[in-house]
Amino acid sequence: MTTGDVAAAPRSYTVVGPGGIGGTYGGRLHAAGFDMRFLGRSDVPTLRDEGLVLESVWGDVRTGPLGAAASEDPVALGPSDVVLVCLKTTENRQLVDLLPPLVRPGTIVVMMQNGLGVEEIAEAVVGGTDDVTVLGGLCFVCSTKVAPGHVRHIDYGRVTIGEWRSGYGASGITDAVRVVSDDLAAAGCPVAPQESLGVARWKKLVWNVPYNGLSVVLRAGTDELMADPDTRALVRDLMMEVWRGAEACGHGFDESFVEQMLTDTEQMTPYAPSMRLDFDAGRPMEVDAIYAAPLAAAAAAGAELPKVEALWRQLRFLDAAHR
Amino acid sequence: MTTGDVAAAPRSYTVVGPGGIGGTYGGRLHAAGFDMRFLGRSDVPTLRDEGLVLESVWGDVRTGPLGAAASEDPVALGPSDVVLVCLKTTENRQLVDLLPPLVRPGTIVVMMQNGLGVEEIAEAVVGGTDDVTVLGGLCFVCSTKVAPGHVRHIDYGRVTIGEWRSGYGASGITDAVRVVSDDLAAAGCPVAPQESLGVARWKKLVWNVPYNGLSVVLRAGTDELMADPDTRALVRDLMMEVWRGAEACGHGFDESFVEQMLTDTEQMTPYAPSMRLDFDAGRPMEVDAIYAAPLAAAAAAGAELPKVEALWRQLRFLDAAHR
C-alpha cells in the first residue's frame, strides 16, 4: 500500500480461513502493506512462528512470522476494517461464533465463497450490528493449500465483488465495493467490481453447477467432460438450466455467456474443480451452496431445473455415503 | 412335456445365448422334455461334452452331454419351432448372421431382452420370411452364469410375453403368445401372457431405467438407493418420467404402478442390476435399449424426460470411458 500520508494507518484485514483462497489474497495484501490478521486452526502454529508462504504465478510471498496476527481465537484478533471470509461454505455454521468478534461498526465483510445465499448467513450473524456491510466475492482462481501455512496459486485469480442486497437486488458499485476492489487491485490482483452480485453469482453457477458435480459423479476432469459428446451436451443442458434459473430469479444475462463458458473451458488447462478435490480428499462437498440454494431460488421463482436437480440428488447421496 | 400322442414330436427350441436367462429357461424346457438346441460361443464345448448345469430355486437340472444340440454354428443347428433370443442387447448386431438359419415359415422368435425396440431388429432380419412371428419376453429373474455351461438362478423368474406389432400396437393374446406361454408354464416357469407388449416393455422400464443407471453411476445397490432419501426421490422422479413417456407413446398404465415398484424394490433382497454387473465386469452396457430407445420414442411423441436423458448421457460417458 503506497500512501503519501504517513499518519494514515494501513487498512486492517482479517482472513477467515487461510486456505487456497485466503492464502492467495491474504498473501498479496500482506505484500502490499495492509495490516493482515489470519483466523485459522491447523495453520496457526506455522503462520505464527514461520509465516505464510505463497507460491504464486504473480510472484512469491513470504510474510515472515506473523506472531499474534495469526490466531484460532477471534476475540484475540478483534475487529478489523475488512473481513475476508474464505472458509468453505460447508464450514459456515462456524460463523455465528467466529464473525461477531471480528466486526465493529463500519466493518466490511466479504464472503469469498462459491454458490448462492452465503451472504444471508453473514447478514444473519452480524447484520444486526450497525453499519456492517456484507459483500460477495467470487474468485476465479486455481490455488490450493499444499501444507500448513503454504499455498500454491497456479493459474487465474480474478475476483468479482459486489454488495449484497436482500434477494440479490442490484446495488450498483457501492463505496464498500470500491474500497475492497481498490485494495485488491493495489495488491496486484485483477478485480471486477459488480453492479449486481446476483448476476455475478448466477454467472459463476453456470460454470460451477455442471463441472463440479459431473467431475465428482463421473470421476472425470473438465477436459474429459468436454471431449465426450454426451457429457459436453449434458454440461450445456445444465448450463442452460442455470441460465433459465437466473432469468426466472431476475438476474438474467445474455445467453451467449453459456457458449462462451463452454469455449473457455475447452481452452482451459485440464482442471479438477474444487468439489472433486473435496470429494477425493473425503471432505464434505459444497452441495448446499452450489446446488440446493439455486434450486430453491429457481423453484420459488417458478422455474424447474430438472437436470440440475438430478445431479444435486446424486451429489447428496455421494456426500452422505462419504461420511 | 407330457402328451398322450406318441406320434407328436416335442416342440423344438433354440436358445441363442446360453447365459443366465438362456440357461435358466433353456434348462427348465429341457427338463420338461422339449427338443432343445443351444447356440453359443464359449459355453459350447462344455454344453456339448458335459451338458448344462442349472442350479435353480425351482430345482436343479443337469441335461447331460448335449452333443450336436450345442453349437457355434446356426446352420448346423438349423431351424426350430421357437427361437429364444437371450443375448444381451449389446450383441444384437450379430442377429443378422445368427437368426436366418434358425427360422423357417412358422417359427416363433422370442426376444427375451430388456429395453425397447429390440423386436424391430428381429423383424428387420427375419420379418421378410413368411410366417415368422416375433414376440417379446420380459424376464423378471435373478440368474447369472457362474462358469461355462453353469447357470445359477437365485430368485424370481416370471416371464411376461407379448406379440410384437409395429409401433408396439396392442396384439391381444395371440396363438404364438399362447404356445410359448403354455410351454414355459409346462416347464414350471411362471408366465404372464400380455395383450400389449408395449405396455409390458414400458412397465419394465419403470424399474430398469432408475435402478440400472443409478447403480452404475453411484456404484450403489438397490437397497442403498432406496435407503437414502435423495436417491429414493430421484428414483421416483425417473420412474414418473418413464410413466409419462409411456403415456405419451400410447402405452400408458395406472400411476399407482410407480409406487408399487418402489415398495416392491424396498422389500426385495438387495440386488445388483444387470447393468451394474456388466459395468463391473467391463462389458458394454445396455444403454441403447434401456435409455436411447425409450428417449427417442418419447421425444417422437413430444415428451421430454430430462432426468432420464441426463442419466443416459452419464451412462454413455461411462460406457465409452470403459472401452
Would you write out chain A's pLDDT as a tens digit for each of its 323 residues? Answer: 444 455 578 999 999 999 999 999 999 999 999 999 999 999 999 999 999 999 999 999 999 999 999 999 999 999 999 999 999 999 999 999 999 999 999 999 999 999 999 999 999 999 876 689 999 999 999 899 999 999 999 999 999 999 999 999 999 999 999 999 999 999 999 999 999 999 999 999 999 999 999 999 999 999 999 999 999 999 999 999 999 999 999 999 999 999 999 999 998 888 789 999 999 999 999 999 999 999 999 999 999 999 999 999 999 999 998 77
Interface of A with B (CB under 8 A): 214, 217-218, 220, 224-225, 228, 230-231, 233-234, 237-238, 306-307, 309-314, 316-318, 320-321
CA distance B312 to B306: 10
pLDDT at residue A5 in the model = 52
Say if the Cβ atoms of B234 and A314 lie within 8 Å.
yes
Say if the Cβ atoms of B306 and A311 lie within 8 Å.
no
Nearest chain A residue to B322 by CA distance is A218
Q: What is the pLDDT of residues B267-305, one digit of tens each?
A: 888 878 999 999 999 999 999 999 999 999 999 999 999
Say if the Cβ atoms of A317 and B237 lie within 8 Å.
no
B82: closest CA among B68, B99, B103?
B103
The set of catalytic residues of A is 204
Candidates B313, B316, B318, B319, partner chain A, best to mutate (most A CBs within 10 A):
B313
Nearest chain A residue to B318 by CA distance is A218
Establish, for the pair of chains A and B, how many residue pairs have beta carbons separated by less than 8 Å: 82
Say if the Cβ atoms of A311 and B311 lie within 8 Å.
no
Q: Residue B4's pLDDT band (boundaries 50, 70, 90)? A: very low
Say if the Cβ atoms of A321 and B228 lie within 8 Å.
yes
Cα atoms found within 13 Å of the Cα of residue B82, Cβ hemisphere only: 28
Say if the Cβ atoms of B321 and A233 lie within 8 Å.
no
The nearest CA of chain A is from the CA of B209 a distance in Å of 14
Q: Which of B88, B145, B203, B204 is catalytic?
A: B204
Q: Which of B230, B231, B314 sits opposite A218 (nearest CB)?
A: B314
pLDDT at residue B6 in the model = 52
The nearest CA of chain B is from the CA of A12 a distance in Å of 44
For residue B191, give the amino acid letter.
V
Q: What is the pLDDT of residues B212-267, one digit of tens each?
A: 999 999 999 999 999 999 999 999 999 999 999 999 999 999 999 999 999 999 98
